[in-house]
Amino acid sequence: MKKWIYLSIVLFVLFAGCLNAESTGTAGNTSVEKVPGANKINIQNLSFFTEVEPGLLDAKSQGKPVFVYARSKYCGACKKFEAETFTNSSVIDKLNKDFILISIDVDEQKTETRNFRLRATPTEIFLDPNGTEIKRLLGYRTNQTFLDEINKIVI
């Protein structure tokens, strides 16, 4: 009997947390908004393509590598990464200057999730201008660690 009460309490707390996450949309200082009339999304101060093909075409025409950011709206580590790293001026400057940005929502973009073999969020994938994978990072990175990684790709 005690097990059922304990299990009921745990399920209630988990369910209440899901409802809270759903109602607030994002946590902390994370700002995510769709750009009207475009296949883009703004996350903090960065503008990402939400479809892979237009991003790859842009990368090829500009000769820039691609930063693919795989996220989920329920991912706590994604929210932390966005709130801390995507607000860092050095990271923002480097990404805006040297990369074409693509964001994939693993909950909504199932085909892209399969094509990129995504298993966890956040995942950061770097592609050359032709779409060939250069590097893949799994999980949350601090500002400096992430900046060190992107500096290795574009010097």
Whether 68 is in a domain gets the answer yes
Residue 149 domain boundaries: 26-153
Please say if the pLDDT value at position 39 is more than 60.
yes
CATH number at residue 114: 3.40.30.10
pTM: 0.76
Please say if the pLDDT value at position 18 is more than 50.
no
Please say if the pLDDT value at position 123 is more than 50.
yes
What's the pLDDT band for 23 if we cut at 50, 70, 90?
A: very low
Whether 6 is in a domain gets the answer no
Whether 106 is in a domain gets the answer yes
Whether 73 is in a domain gets the answer yes
As a whole number, mean pLDDT of residues 107-112 equals 90
Whether 11 is in a domain gets the answer no
Report the alpha-carbon angle 84-88-91, nearest 5: 115
Residue type, 74: Y
| pLDDT attached to residue 147 | 93
**Total number of domains in the chain:** 1
CB within 8 A of 68, min separation 6: which ones? 52, 55, 102, 103, 104, 116, 124, 125, 126, 127
Pull the structure tokens for residue 53: 């093909």
- What are the pLDDT digits (tens) for 129-138? 999 999 999 9
Whether 9 is in a domain gets the answer no
